[in-house]
Amino acid sequence: MSRFILVAMMVVVTVAGCNRFPDNGLQIVANLPPNDSCVFTADQELRLLRGRYDISYRNALTGEPSDYVIAPLLQSYLVSNALEFQGEQNNLQVDNFDITILLPDGSMPTLPEGLVNPYRVDTSAVLEANDEGGGPSEEVAAALGIPASYQSALAGIPSIILSIRAGGTTFGGFSQRSAPFRWPVDICEGCLTIPECTPELFLLECLPGQDGSPGCASIVDPPAITP
């Protein structure tokens, strides 16, 4: 199984919505896990109910902390407006997520100086315009959800909520911004780490240190059961 590798950039911005047309043309409907080939696809049937982020997990190859990755499933409700003399203008290029870290009560945690909240991260996905009367088009866009540099600030916080808004521009030049999608993430230290996860076994994991079972758990021999 190949390991999924994500390269993402975070850009510090002041989050503000403007020039949206029409409202609610773009939505986030789920956060997806990778499939068996470590690829995110819109036809993935499995849905995550909430996330888990082991802030003590360290990359078995480099010793570095791991980022928390998100893969929102996007839907576009924009209807095709292509004409004989004009190409499709309502295809939608989504290129960013605005993310706000919240506590379960909806308040914002106090973060050390230098850590911004909210923040913007890059992604890339194109959603095609829909035929009149048809359903929405779908695409998945992976991105950096929580940078590893935020791990120490999250220590001692049992759970957080990522409020995620997707943003992009139609081929016709109109800005789109989705409503917030609230993604709960449990924070733990050591819950997804096991000593037996060697560098060789690490390569078989898609996103070690987040969401699923402890890394390498599926291929490490279980303990013997005494009758």
- In 9-156, at which residue ranges do the beta strands (DSSP E only) sit? 10-11, 26-31, 51-54, 68-70, 72-76, 92-102, 119-127, 137-140, 143-146
pLDDT at 62: 79
CA 164-143-35 angle, 5° bins:
110
Q: Average pLDDT for residues 181-200, to the nearest whole number?
A: 80
Distance between CA atoms of 155 and 136, rounded to whole angstroms? 40
Could you report the per-residue pLDDT of 63-76, keeping only the tens digit for each?
Answer: 889 899 999 999 99
77 within a domain of the structure (yes/no): yes
Q: Is 165 a member of any domain? A: yes
Residue 159 lies in a domain: yes
Q: For residue 111, what pLDDT is reported? A: 94
Averaged over 77-101, what is the pLDDT? 82
Q: Is residue 41 part of a domain?
A: yes
Residue 160's domain comprises: 20-202
Say yes or no to pLDDT of 77 above 60.
yes
Query: Tell me, what amino acid is at 83?
Result: L
Residue 191 within any structural domain of the chain: yes
Whether residue 155 is contained in a domain is answered as yes
**In a domain? residue 182:** yes
Categorise residue 190: left if φ over 0, alpha if ψ from -120 to 50, beta otherwise: left
> Looking at residue 34, which CATH number applies to its domain?
2.60.40.10
State the pTM of this model: 0.81
Domain count, the chain: 1
If you average pLDDT over every residue of the chain, what do you get?
A: 81
Instruction: Return the higher-pLDDT residue of 163 and 221.
Output: 163
Tell me, yes or no, whether 164 lies in a domain. yes
pLDDT at 146: 98
Q: Which two tokens stand for residue 54?
A: 């082991």
On the question of pLDDT at 221 being above 90, the answer is no
